[in-house]
Structure 1
Amino acid sequence: MHPTLHDTAYGVTAAGIADQMSFLTRWLPPAPARVLDAGCGRGDLALALDEAGYTVTAVDNDAEAVTAARARGVDAIRGDFAGYDGDPFDAVVFSLSLHHMSRLPKVVHRARALLKQGGLLLVDEFAWERADGATASWFHDMEAVLDSAFTPAPPERRPLAEDPYTHWIKRHRPLHPGEAMIDAIGAAFKVRKATRGPYLHRYLADRISDDDAGARVFTMLRRIERQRILGGGLAAVGLRVVAQATH
């Protein structure tokens, strides 16, 4: 299953949040614009947006995650996003959450209803279906290496998958693919930009400590992934969509 965001030593790294904020702040209206973080997890991104001066409301259906987010000062609400109601927002952000949500078209239309006219939908996701055998193998092998290096008590002789691609498909098949998310967004919004790019280094951050050593590993993984994508050795599974409520 895709990593759950959390605020322990492992999971969301400062470098990962900085990468997300670089994308979001290029598109968000100036602070203190009202932003809805849909599927906020334990509030890492919501905290960063708040610190940047935005007026943030966060929603998640996981009671434990919402409790943790509230303990950190996030204005978090527990509930199914498809049924959430509130005053119009300047922007709705889905950060690695849309692929989990059932009733995808209903969720996207709910986001549209929660936005002011001209408001923005910002989606930071990954298109797992774009991975090929080489990409799945690279991810699986890096995952095993990082587990050995960073996990406090790594499992003894963890078996390596004989067929990483089959393992990848089984692991991600329950999640919405990137194309399904783009289609749902396009049915309710005007898509202004959809880009593919590196993402696996962020996925692997679940296994990297949030310290100087972890930051160096994260940076190197990002560099390697970008170079391999440019060279055709890895698929670009990262997906970022900017859409606007214009009708």
Structure 2
Amino acid sequence: MVTAVSVAGCASTGTPGAESAHAHGAEAVRANRTPSGTLPAAPSAPGAPSAATVTDPATGADTGLAGLGPQTSARVPADARQVVVAIGQGKNSSRSHVVLYRRTASGRQGGAAWPTHNALKGWTTDHHLDDLRSPIGVFTLSDAGGLLADPGSKLPYTRSGGFSVSGTGFEGESLAGSFDYVIAIDYNRAKGTSPLDWTRPLGASKGGGVWLHVDHGGPTHACVSLPEKDMKELLRTLDPALHPVIVMGDAASLKK
């Protein structure tokens, strides 16, 4: 069981359904996650895309985003010059991979596929508090923070002891360091605030506190977790002036 998860509901606890605590100033509050900021809507994982310009087979359109179908691609804003794509291995899988795409003169170009974890029970289009699924959708990325000093983030960065975490995850792994670096996913939160802010525009029942954060080696409650070196790269790369977004969901859902 988590004994002092003083941050987002994204950290997994040893007991499915148990919930981590989220520090909001001096007040400990409960956490998990869901959307406001929603836009219209494992080792290099098998089938993970490599850097390439991608043409959608159904429409012939140059999407530049591997693994995304026409409906999903249409939700990505035209001004989003940085797109993080998180693709789950299956609807009920906690394994996924992330690719960062940047718009260049020749179109969107993707980098290496990073192994990641998502929620214990996989993905959902209707996320609710404690459902242990990550929300599917396209969301803006506006704010960052962590327990450790700012590594050079271009996003506004809040350093706070409120990001401290202890205890063990669903697979018995230590949660220590999971929130050393985080990027808030704008799902049911107020943009322009610390990731620790507890504002939930859609209501608490829809969850919140969905983050990109440091991987602890096991499933999360609803977040997407990456190796520390990849989190640092994201923090140093994502630029508010380039309107970064994340597209996230299981492979089958994102192909639509």
Q: Please give the TM-score of this superposition, normalised by the length of structure 1.
A: 0.25
From the two aligned structures, give the one with the greater strand fraction. Answer: 2
From the two aligned structures, give the one with the greater helix fraction. Answer: 1
Q: Highest relative contact order (Cα 8 Å, sep 6+), 1 or 2?
A: 2
Structure 1 or 2, whichever has the larger Rg, is: 1
Q: Please give the TM-score of this superposition, normalised by the length of structure 2.
A: 0.24
